[in-house]
Amino acid sequence: MLHIRYRRKALRGILKMPKWTAQQFFGAFEQLAVENLGGLDIVKLKGRKGYRLRIGGFRAIYTIERNQLLILMLDAGARGDIYK
């Protein structure tokens, strides 16, 4: 099982989302922590380190550092703003 660590910016982004969507993101990261990727829309990013998790119109950018067994969520927000 991986440990999940959220950056402040990521938590603020999730908490600004509708409550149902925020709960889905927290649940999706719990699912990732036990390394169960079934049903998640995840894509490896091109041109930068990390992955993108999509739920509806919202995205979360995160990295996995296997050496430390850590999921580090970098940012979360609406589709148009997340990649900047």
pTM over 0.85: no
pLDDT at 57: 85
Report residue 27 as tokens: 């649940």
What is the tens place of the pLDDT at every residue in 6-49? 888 888 888 888 999 999 999 998 888 887 788 899 999 898 88
Per the CB < 8 A criterion, the answer to whether 3 and 69 are in contact is yes
Domains of the chain, by residue range, sit at: 3-79
Per the CB < 8 A criterion, the answer to whether 4 and 71 are in contact is yes
Provide the 8-state DSSP code for 47: S
pLDDT at 23: 95
Higher pLDDT, 23 or 59: 23
Interacting residues of 41 by C-beta distance below 8 A, sequence separation 6+: 53, 54, 55
**Distance in Å from the first CA to the final CA of the chain:** 31
Whether the pLDDT of residue 80 is over 70: the answer is: no
Task: Indicate the CATH number of 3-79 among 3.40.1350.10, 3.30.1370.60, 3.30.2310.20, 3.40.109.10.
Answer: 3.30.2310.20
Whether the pLDDT of residue 5 is over 90: the answer is: no
Provide the 8-state DSSP code for 49: S
